[in-house]
Amino acid sequence: MSNAIEIAKRRTFGIISHPDAGKTTLTEKLLLFGGAIQSAGAVKNNKIKKTATSDFMEIEKQRGISVATSVMAFNYNGKQINILDTPGHKDFAEDTFRTLTAVDSVILVIDVASGVESQTERLMEVCRMRNTPVIIFINKLDRDGKEAFDLLDELEDKLKIKVRPLSWPIGMGDRFKGVYNIYKKELNLFSPNKTGISDDVQSISDLNSTEIDEIIGTDEAAELREELEIIEGVYTEFDRETYLSGEVAPVFFGSAVNNFGVQELLNAFCEISPSPRGRETDLKMVEPDDNKFSGFVFKIHANLDPKHRDRIAFLRIVSGKFERNTFYNHVRLGKKLKFPNPTSFMAQDKSVIDEAYPGDVVGLYDSGNFKIGDTLNEGEQFMFKGIPSFSPEIFMELENLDPMKSKQLDKGIRQLMDEGVAQLFIQQPGSRKIIGTVGQLQFEVISYRLEHEYGAKCRFVPRNFHKACWITTDDIAKLEEFKRAKARYLATDKDDNLVFLAETSFLLQTAEQDYPEITFHKTSAFKLEVAK
């Protein structure tokens, strides 16, 4: 039987935002609507507090909670919604980037007062790289913030995407009356409501109806009509295809903490967001309705108990049907594996499942077989592309403090890198280990975990690098010349690709100018092109 019905039901997406914009609150409200949780507060604990940079117990606790909430699945309006959680803390941005390879669309939360912030821009770059469809939710309308039109301009300008409002706010802060749902032609009236889950919705299809004046006031009604007229003049009609191709982002307004505009967002999401999409491999494009099972690992989570080394690998299913206790190809290792206890994440409970479909994420217990990016499939062997590494921003050389434990240290580092905690670069002579991360927190996590899980002690010595660039060229002679000139700044990554560690952006620019025959890649995504 074909899996078409199951596939058509699935909606797999991620919620992204700059910290504090309201991602956790919105996630929680969506789960309330989906009946996946009964009260607020269940997701809240998943946040790594901004102050907790040195609190290892806190990190450990968070790791535990974040396994449970890494994927949250629930049914709503006949759809199975899979929300893939992305860490808000900027030091875990890499994790978020990888998770974005496993979603089919994204909801981006923006704080009406702060507008587009730096982390939002970076996250959006990743979405653009993959043409991921994006819906924007402008949050905290119960507070004063930027004017809606200015905000839309800012979104287009900084996020480099066209926007199309599908709802429109009536006032904000103390004067916030609600939103007009352009998409459904309804007036949603605001009343602060932190617990209930229904909005006061008035269906008014005729904008000139005096009913609107009676409900929100004559001045407000006049302003609303005027603004809606401008919207129709300035923004092109919403077209689902341009949203699906990642060119246009529909915009909604609301207040997550007040449960306002959330159901409207969820309803629209169910109508317009994409069902599971195919993924590129080194051989061909694999579509969800291909009969043979395939999937890839986008996240690995270590077990909290150091006595049990097993980990959970998160597998996104791309095609076919995944079945428990069935042998599949582990393509990179060239061996067959089966999984007696695959888990799903319905309604926050982890439970063993017998089968899963494209768009689903299953947790596989792993004793060290998986690396991020690995492919599992049946039949013809191929590998999924598309989990690039980004240049780290902080570099440290790892020094072993206990020579008797160098084996443990090597093993620990290798496994932590497989989990994607950080990136390892090897420098010659002496095979020195340079660890690169996007945040300071990772170094604390690494030394803590090396000590507690592998019994190895290390220390980090700062190395003054600005960026790591993967380099490629067809000109072997130039490459040799470059290698001789820059030997001190060269290293290899985990796959033995050559990497240039530039000390400053100026030196990187100079190298690019001096060696036009060489391409300096800021992400490891070039491997995808090479493999094509």
- Cα separation, 271 vs 250, in Å, equals 13
Task: Provide the minimum distance between the beta carbon of 92 and ligand G4P in the complex, in angstroms, as a whole number.
Answer: 12
Task: Provide the minimum distance between the beta carbon of 144 and ligand G4P in the complex, in angstroms, as a whole number.
Answer: 10
Q: Does 88 bind ligand G4P (CB under 6 A)?
A: yes
Q: Does 471 bind ligand G4P (CB under 6 A)?
A: no
Write a three-state SS string for 401-462: CCHHHHHHHHHHHHHHHHCCCCEEEEECCCCEEEEEECCCHHHHHHHHHHHHHHCCCEEEEE
Residue whose pair of structure tokens reads 């935002």 in the numeric block:
17
CB closer to ligand G4P out of 19 and 455: 19
Task: Provide the minimum distance between the beta carbon of 40 and ligand G4P in the complex, in angstroms, as a whole number.
Answer: 9
Sole window of 235-243, 252-260, 296-304, 477-485 interacting with ligand G4P (rule: CB under 6 A) = 252-260
Residue 172's alpha-carbon distances to 15, 210, 407, 515, in angstroms, are 24, 22, 60, 54
Task: Provide the minimum distance between the beta carbon of 165 and ligand G4P in the complex, in angstroms, as a whole number.
Answer: 18
CA angle 342, 346, 351 (to 5 degrees): 35
CA-based end-to-end distance of the chain:
32
CB closer to ligand G4P out of 2 and 195: 195
- Cα separation, 221 vs 217, in Å, equals 6
- Cα separation, 173 vs 171, in Å, equals 7
The DSSP call for residue 485 is H
Q: Annotate 499-510 with DSSP letters as a single string.
A: EEEESSHHHHHH
Q: Does 142 bind ligand G4P (CB under 6 A)?
A: yes
For residue 359, is it left (φ>0), alpha (ψ between -120 and 50) or beta?
left
- Whether a cis peptide bond, with omega within 30° of 0, leads into 288 is no
Q: Residues 102, 182, 257, 297: which binds ligand G4P (CB under 6 A)?
A: 257
CA angle 179, 146, 109 (to 5 degrees): 65
Mask 414-443, x = binds ligand G4P (CB under 6 A)?
A: ------------------------------
Residues 311-330 that bind ligand G4P (CB under 6 A): none
Write out the two tokens for 165: 């409002």
Q: Residues 187, 256, 313, 317: which binds ligand G4P (CB under 6 A)?
A: 256
* Cβ proximity of 423 and 435 under 8 Å: yes
Task: Provide the minimum distance between the beta carbon of 64 and ligand G4P in the complex, in angstroms, as a whole number.
Answer: 18
CB closer to ligand G4P out of 145 and 436: 145
Residues 12-41 that bind ligand G4P (CB under 6 A): 17, 19-25
Task: Provide the minimum distance between the beta carbon of 480 and ligand G4P in the complex, in angstroms, as a whole number.
Answer: 49
CB closer to ligand G4P out of 169 and 320: 169
Task: Provide the minimum distance between the beta carbon of 163 and ligand G4P in the complex, in angstroms, as a whole number.
Answer: 20
Q: Does 119 bind ligand G4P (CB under 6 A)?
A: no
Q: Does 167 bind ligand G4P (CB under 6 A)?
A: no
Task: Provide the minimum distance between the beta carbon of 158 and ligand G4P in the complex, in angstroms, as a whole number.
Answer: 18
Angle between helices 93-100 and 118-129 (to 10 degrees): 30
CB closer to ligand G4P out of 256 and 346: 256
Write out the two tokens for 98: 């990888």
Task: Provide the minimum distance between the beta carbon of 7 and ligand G4P in the complex, in angstroms, as a whole number.
Answer: 30
**Three-state secondary-structure class, residue 116:** coil
Task: Provide the minimum distance between the beta carbon of 21 and ligand G4P in the complex, in angstroms, as a whole number.
Answer: 5
CB closer to ligand G4P out of 17 and 132: 17
CB closer to ligand G4P out of 21 and 501: 21
- Applying CB under 6 A, the residues found at the interface with ligand G4P are 17, 19-25, 47, 88, 139-140, 142-143, 255-258
